[in-house]
């Protein structure tokens, strides 16, 4: 599966100047850029597109690099893939007594951006111009595309013992013995697809 960015008719490249940052933020930004480059999630860009970036504080006190894709999102054709209703998902777990929750870490990065659309993900910083080669956070359609991906890989188990909502997975079973087998099947799929859990947010 590849992530594509379809534009409304007549849309052309939009480039926005980088936002100002404090010195401490620039140091953090440089470190995060180096990490993204080392992991080959981004690459240098010469794209006519360019979105600004900002650092958003996380609950653990750290910072997350966020690209402000609002201009690109306004020009993007919206994907109508349906996100499930939470109450409908909860109906599926009736009768279960054992539960585990898995929260995925950077799951979006398992989906590559279509080569011709990579330039549209470009962002500008004090340290250069870069573009994502994997699906970035903040772009329109990313949640529904990832939801579609998760539904595809877990299709055999949906409505049986797995509930998926974007990057959250709920495994439900009637007995501890049954749950052990269900959990093993889910973890095997995650391993095969190179999807990694955020252990601090998982519950077993």
Q: CA nearest 76: which of 49, 58, 103? A: 49
Domains of the chain: 2-201 (3.10.10.10)
Could you count the other beta carbons within 10 Å of the beta carbon of residue 78? 11
Of 164, 165, 155, 168, the closest CA to residue 201 belongs to: 168
Euclidean distance between CA atoms 122 and 129, whole angstroms? 7
The structure tokens 């697809």 sit at: 193
Closest CA to 185 of 198, 174, 169, 167: 169
Question: Is-contact 123 131, C-beta < 8 A?
Answer: yes
First to last CA, the chain: 30
What's this model's pTM, rounded to 2 decimal places?
A: 0.83
How many CA atoms within 13 Å lie on the side-chain side of 64? 12
- The per-residue pLDDT for 134 is 96
Kindly give, in sequence order, each residue whose CB lies less than 8 Å from that of residue 61, ignoring residues fewer than 6 positions away: none
Report the b/e string of 31-61 with b at 16+ CB within 10 A. Answer: ebbeebeeeebbeebebebbbbbbbeeeeee
List of long-range contacts for 159-168, beta carbons under 8 Å, 24+ apart: 159/92, 161/96, 162/186, 163/89, 163/92, 163/93, 165/83, 165/84, 165/86, 165/89, 166/83, 167/103, 167/104, 167/107, 167/108, 168/101, 168/102, 168/103, 168/104
Of the chain, the percentage scoring pLDDT greater than 70 comes to 99
Going by pLDDT thresholds of 50, 70 and 90, the confidence category of residue 12 is: very high
Question: Is residue 96's pLDDT more than 90?
Answer: no
Q: Confidence class of residue 42 from pLDDT cuts 50, 70 and 90?
A: very high
Query: Mean pLDDT over residues 127-151, rounded?
Result: 93
CA distance 90 to 109: 28
Element of type H or E holding 55: strand 53-57
> What tokens does 55 get?
């650092």
pLDDT value for 139: 95
Question: In the prediction, which pLDDT does 186 show?
Answer: 93
Q: Would you call 126 helix, strand, or coil by DSSP?
A: coil
């Amino acid at each position: 599966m590849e992530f594509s960015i379809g534009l409304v008719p007549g849309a052309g490249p939009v480039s926005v100047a980088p936002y100002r940052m404090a010195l401490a933020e620039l140091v953090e930004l440089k470190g995060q850029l180096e990490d993204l480059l080392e992991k080959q999630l981004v690459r240098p860009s010469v794209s006519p597109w360019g979105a600004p970036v900002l650092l958003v504080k996380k609950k653990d006190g750290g910072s997350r690099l966020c690209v402000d894709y609002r201009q690109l999102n306004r020009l993007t054709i919206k994907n109508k893939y349906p996100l499930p209703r939470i109450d409908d998902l909860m109906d599926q777990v009736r009768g279960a007594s054992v539960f585990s929750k898995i929260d995925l870490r950077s799951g979006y990065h398992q989906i590559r951006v279509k080569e011709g659309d990579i330039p549209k993900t470009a962002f500008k910083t004090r340290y250069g111009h870069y573009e994502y080669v994997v699906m970035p956070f903040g772009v329109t359609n990313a949640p529904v595309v990832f939801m579609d991906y998760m539904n595809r890989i877990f299709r055999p188990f949906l409505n049986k013992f797995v509930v998926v909502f974007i990057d959250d997975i709920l495994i439900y079973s009637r007995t501890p013995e049954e749950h052990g087998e269900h959990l093993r099947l889910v973890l095997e799929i995650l391993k095969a697809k190179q999807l990694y859990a955020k252990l601090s947010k998982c519950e077993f």
